[in-house]
Amino acid sequence: AHAKVTIDDDTGYFVDPQGFIKLFHGINCVHKVAPFYFPKLLDPHSFRVLRDWGINVIRLEFNWIALKPQENEISREYLDIIETIIDNAGLYGVYIIIDLHQDGLSKRLGAIDAVPNWFMDKIKRPPYLFQYPWPLTKDPSKSQWFLTYATYESAHVFESIYKNVSGIWNYFAEYWMITTSRFGKKDNVLGYNLINEPPPGNFYLNPFLLLPSK
């Protein structure tokens, strides 16, 4: 069982219905490749085990590719699966942070696919000389995947998203509208990770983006 948690306006702490501060101990549940969830989480017993270990929150990936494999297609099956996982967690007092996960955004940028191909198709590529993997001379090794963020095209793509070039930010908003309308009223949904580890944008055009913010 779980109680609805709110944020205290004065302190910023999570509090339970009695006003006590709620502390969380959690784990990451991100499955970056198909089927984009851990099948064991469909068994409610898994959450009893987590609860017995002292875990009361999980960061759960809700994968955009699995949700919308095609631009005009929503996978009701995937929605149902994620809802089952969230409900199973609630049975044992485990809360959920829904995560739009990405680590480099797309295979086209030398990373793991995190957004649908149809979304990437809407982003105009930079001039040929600046296309991936420039300024690198080849794909980074798997252990150095993070170097993909240093490529011009990666910076260009994120800048295009942030500036809503060709309206692509609207698709990002649609993802979250679907997510919140389906799961937002569940008492054990604690919050949302809008996008994992977002880079600053096109720091080649504006190097000041690399400076720490206040």
The pTM of the whole model exceeds 0.75: yes
For 72-110, the pLDDT digits (tens) are: 999 999 999 999 999 999 999 999 999 999 999 999 999
For 164-181, the pLDDT digits (tens) are: 998 999 999 999 999 999
Q: Please, what are the domains in the chain? A: 6-210 (3.20.20.80)
Both tokens of 178, joined, read: 């679907």
The residue ranges of the chain whose pLDDT is under 70 are: 1, 214
Q: Which residues pair with 60 in a beta bridge?
A: 29, 98
